[in-house]
Amino acid sequence: MDRLVERLAAFRELALAFALAAIATGALFAAGRGGWHGRPDGCLVDGQCFCERDRGGLVRQPANTLSNLGFVAVGLGIAAQLGTERRRGCLPRPGNPMTETRFYPGFYAALTALLGPGSMALHASLTWWGSVLDLLSMDAYVAFLFAYAVTRWRRLGIASFLGVYVALVATLLSVKLVAGRGSEAFGAAATAALAVEIRIRRSGRRVADPRWLAAAVVVFLAAFAIWLGSHNGGPLCDPDSWLQGHGVWHLLGAVAALCLYAYARSERSAGPGAAPRPD
């Protein structure tokens, strides 16, 4: 019994991320079983939203909806790795908040997994409230990146991290609710997070494997280019295909999230002989 309790404790992040993703997904589709109520989202024009045709039913855009399972897989994979390393005695490892605490990696894993049902809310329902949940999941994720960067830059604690995080999520959500759109604010927050990361690197206090950050940026830019070409009537748009450019955007976004996690884990204090290394 003691060994079972120890094993369950080691995989606490996995249990939490799985429970949150399962509850969010279950609640979403339970709401959809009675028909997707609410006003249509503005993305829906002539029966299309981000190119894919509205097929009706419980999952109105199957390709754009199911592709979000990539985020769930990455989030659960990160959480499972944490449990495995802890069982092997590799964690905690000092010198990096992502390896010496349970809070930051567990939080990141849960947020990544929740990007899946958050985006599913839009593409399964094609409603305005679904788009709010979609953007909220994105805002919650990018707010982590920014708050985590500021926390390390200013050498703050978890309480300060949470203060910055909650304030930014509330600000980004208010932009969506007031202005009716929030992708520009999301992009600004992502750019700000990258700028702080570059500032940390230039300070010389911390080192990290730049290949992971470069990979994340390249993958994200490729995903963004596909996203641009996959709008209604775009050059990559085929409304009836199961290979949707917007779905590829989701999958590549999950890959970028994994690269950012690997980059964060590679960070070390810039002491004598310190050198970045991938995990």
Per-residue pLDDT of 193-236, as tens digits, reads 999 999 999 999 889 999 999 999 999 999 999 999 999 999 99
Determine, yes or no, domain membership for 126. Answer: yes
Which residue(s) pair with 45 in the sheet?
48
Average pLDDT, the chain: 93
Question: What is the predicted pLDDT for the residue at 278?
Answer: 38
Span 78-83, mean pLDDT? Answer: 97
Determine, yes or no, domain membership for 261. Answer: no
> What is the extent of the structural domain holding 183?
2-206
The pLDDT confidence band at residue 4, using thresholds 50, 70 and 90, is: low
The pLDDT confidence band at residue 273, using thresholds 50, 70 and 90, is: very low
Q: Who wins on pLDDT, 248 or 278? A: 248
Domain total for the chain?
1
Whole-prediction pTM: 0.94
The pLDDT confidence band at residue 90, using thresholds 50, 70 and 90, is: very high
d(CA 135, CA 182): 7
d(CA 145, CA 150): 9
Residue type, 24: A
Determine, yes or no, domain membership for 160. Answer: yes
Determine, yes or no, domain membership for 140. Answer: yes
Determine, yes or no, domain membership for 195. Answer: yes
Determine, yes or no, domain membership for 194. Answer: yes
Q: Spell out a b/e string for 233-267, using b for 16 or more CB atoms within 10 Å of the CB, else e.
A: ebebbeeeeeebbbbbbbbbbbbbbbbbbbbbbbb
Question: What is the predicted pLDDT for the residue at 180?
Answer: 87
Determine, yes or no, domain membership for 174. Answer: yes
Determine, yes or no, domain membership for 179. Answer: yes
